[in-house]
Structure 1
Amino acid sequence: MIQELIEFYSERSDFLLPLILEHLQISMIAIIIATIIGISVGIFIAENKKTSPVILGIVSFLYTIPSISMLGFLIPVTGIGNKSAIIALSIYALLPIIRSTYTGIQGVDQDVLEAAKGMGSTRLQILLKIKLPLAFPVILSGFKNMTVMTVALAGIASFIGAGGLGVAIYRGITTNNVIMTIAGSLAVAVLAFLLDFLIGIFEKYIQNRRHSQKQKQRVVAILLAVILFFSASLFYVPHQEKKIHIATKPMTEEFIIGEMMKLLIEDRTDIQVEMTKGVGGGTSNIHPAIVKGDFDIYPEYTGTSWNFVLKETNRPDEETLYKQLVSQYEQKYQLTWLGLYGFNNTYGIAVTKELAERYHLKAYSDLASVSSQLTFGSEYDFYERDDGYNAMAKANDFHFKKTVDLDIGLKYDALKKGEVDTIIAFTTDGKLSDPDIVLLEDDQQYFENYYAGTVIRQETLEKYPELKSVLVLLNDQINEQQMAEMNNKVETEKQNEKDVAKDFLIEHGLLEESK
């Protein structure tokens, strides 16, 4: 394990280093915002004690909101990406700094304050010259706790398409790459430890009486300038005349297809491509973001668009459905479907070979008779879809004794470990190549077709018309078996999705060997 980690850090340093820098930047901006607001609020409630129960109660309540829920609340307002992540992290960081500021000021000896008043000091002078200096050790302690917590929590930001080391963690989980997940998690832990250590050194320096007040102020000013400059660099974007943004869902095959599109666009045009992989919530977050203009292109599925986006309940034949899909997307959302890749990644139900043999399971009708004895597992959004769990259970007469929410990258492990008995699978899953996994026959013909294709903003296509001739090169190029094989290379053989995408394009004559 250690050797594999060392090799991963060495071979994927070009992937991890930018994530480390972005993780620090996101964290630092949130810390700066929370520190300014937190100390100000802490001083206010310390000077106006009647307000403290209300304000501390509100901040404590915000602190109890689950982080994923907080991010979900922010998406409709601030959109996908770093902005929402910074706001959420700032909110969570407020409580420790407000409490430490309030507690530190309240802990100042009353005799000292009375003496200052007796000498004619004003309220502002007492605050600046006595209360804050004496409360500084307590405030700094709260600041240290806030910093460590924020760096650790910043990993969740990748769920909404923000950067940082959460990208490595979340992508590792999605592609079943344990080494990538551990490498990202370990990097977060090391960053938090180093910041805690450095703040400790700074704390000792400030409290050392051998250093003059001017020296301490100079050091503080320099540190603030460095932190502000470093954090501000997150918002610096080099001027590029031609640039587009591709998004993908948290699925291995979408990572691969995203890389294919990026490679083709940058090979055949002078357009630079930025990519956000694994946006949590999939269509539910990407669709509003692309309509808003946060993204330009993403891979989507016909069935998802028809049922989840358009809320259509009727099901015409595939040719009619696609024509109506194209028409409604253009009219309602100013989005264009540029064609389909050729594979149908529909849902399926998978069990272990051992379970299939024990209960003689071959099809959904067999499963229905024993479902009351089994546990069902699926990713979160399947339970909320109109064509998801409830509709599936009703149509197939399933009565599972228990359902479990599982991340898309963990469900096969849960199945093989016996934590669940049956799971929802995608028919192009690489894990289905495992001989110990059995995909049951949909003899009830419940699941609809989900053909994958490219969705692009009309505005983007008008601005860069050359994109159309490039992206349609992927149409009808990939079948189910090929997609499953590529997924397996990433998930089981631990190949880089970019390399897998590149090899496929070269093999099919869409990219030159040297590219």
Structure 2
Amino acid sequence: MMSFFTENSADILLKTWEHFYISFSALLLGVIIAVPLGILLSKTKTVAKIVLTVTSVLQTVPSLALLAIMIPFLGVGKVPAIFALCIYSLLPILNNTFIGMQSVNQNIKAAGTAMGMTPLQSMRMVELPLAMPIIMSGIRLCAVYVISWATLASYIGAGGLGDFIFNGLNLYKTELIVGGALIVTALALLVDFLLSRFERFMIPKGLRMQGGRTS
């Protein structure tokens, strides 16, 4: 096993960077699309049911099939991989954002309105901070999923750590399979830890203290 890391040290750095780049780009696009959309949908429940159903259907499409569908439109490489993974990232983030915004206590929102807050101020200063723990849990879960799914991007020439795994399968080299899988797992754990630190930064101190007392 150690021979894998010593013989492929340069490739490991390159493939890990490619894997992180693909995963982070897809996750970032997913957050940019899903969080604002989830906030809007929390105000219109009828439309929310339709949109969440559509994203749920997209989630059921097999990963390899979705990657293959991207090829006629976007070719091969990182771009179609990022786009496909972005589609997969939408449902967990969108669903958690919607649930988080819906879970905000109506009395707290009414208190903000009574203090003279506009709807935009109430959303930015009251609703979004209160919903942030649920939103961030969706983003963290999605990050782990996207990093694992990104291994399949190797099939369409996007690179990443999936190259080690699929080369190992083709060449019957167990060390490539296990080594690639270990690095993917380590990367997922590291990203989840970093997002947990970011979550603590995003959640207001009062909510963190309240969570600590109730746990």
TM superposition score normalised by structure 1: 0.39
1:102 to 98, 103, 107: 98
Question: In 1, distance between residues paired with 2:59 and 2:159?
Answer: 22
1:56 paired residue number: 52
Whether 2:89 is the aligned partner of 1:93: answer yes
- TM-superposed CA distance for 1:49, in Å, is 1.7
1:84 corresponds to which of 74, 80, 84: 80
Shift of 1:136: 0.7
User: CA–CA distance in 2 between the matches of 1:198 and 1:147?
Assistant: 11
Structure 2 unmatched runs, 5+: 207-215
Q: 1:208 to 1:123 in 2, by over 3 A?
A: closer
Q: Give, in whole Å, the separation in 1 of the partners of 2:177 and 2:31.
A: 31
1:139 is aligned to 2:138: no
Q: Residue 80 of structure 1 aligns to a residue in which SS?
A: coil
Hey, what does 1:70 align to over in structure 2?
66
Letter in 2 for 1:194: L
Please report the RMSD computed on the Cα atoms of aligned residues, expressed in angstroms.
1.3
**Could you say which residue in structure 1 is the equivalent of 2:144?**
148
SS for the counterpart of 2:42 is helix
Give the residue type in structure 2 aligned to 1:138.
I
Provide the residue aligned with 1:160 in structure 2.
Answer: 156
Q: Cα 1:158–1:51, aligned 2, differ >3 Å: closer, same or farther?
A: same
Q: C-alpha separation between the residues in 1 aligned to 2:105 and 2:90? A: 26
Contact 2:77 2:157 in 1 (8 A): yes
Deviations 1:478-504 (A, max 9, x none): xxxxxxxxxxxxxxxxxxxxxxxxxxx
Shift, 1:169, TM fit? 0.7
| Number of positions where the alignment pairs a residue of Structure 1 with one of Structure 2 | 206
The residue number in structure 2 matching 1:388 is none
The yes-or-no answer on 1:199 pairing with 2:195 is yes
User: Residues 132 and 202 of structure 2 are in contact (CA less than 8 Å); yes or no, is this contact kept in structure 1?
Assistant: no
Q: Distance in 2 between matches of 1:55 and 1:79?
A: 28
Q: How does 1:189-228 map to 2 (within 5 A)?
A: 189-207=185-203, 209=205
Aligned position for 2:37: 41
1:236-291 Cα distance to aligned partner (Å, 9 max, x none)? xxxxxxxxxxxxxxxxxxxxxxxxxxxxxxxxxxxxxxxxxxxxxxxxxxxxxxxx
Query: 1:118 — aligned with what?
Result: 114
Give the Cα–Cα distance (whole angstroms) in 2 for the partners of residues 18 and 197 of structure 1.
Answer: 22
Structure 2: distance between partners of 1:54 and 1:25: 32
Aligned mates of 2:204, 2:49 — CA distance in 1: 35
> Which residue type is aligned with residue 162 of structure 2?
G
Select the structure of larger CA radius of gyration.
Answer: 1
Match of 1:30 in 2: 26
Distance 1:157 1:143, change over 3 A: same
**Equivalents in 1 of 2:119, 2:202: separation in Å?**
25
Give the Å deviation of 1:18: 0.2
AA in 2 matched with 1:13:
S
User: 5 Å matches for 1:279-428?
Assistant: none
Deviations 1:289-313 (A, max 9, x none): xxxxxxxxxxxxxxxxxxxxxxxxx
* Structure having the larger proportion of residues in helix: 2
The superposition leaves residues 92-144 of structure 1 with CA deviations (integer Å, 9 ceiling, x where unpaired) of 00011101110110000000111222233221111111111111111111110
Kindly provide the amino acid, as one letter, of the partner of residue 19 in structure 1.
Answer: K
Report the secondary structure of 2:168's partner residue. Answer: helix
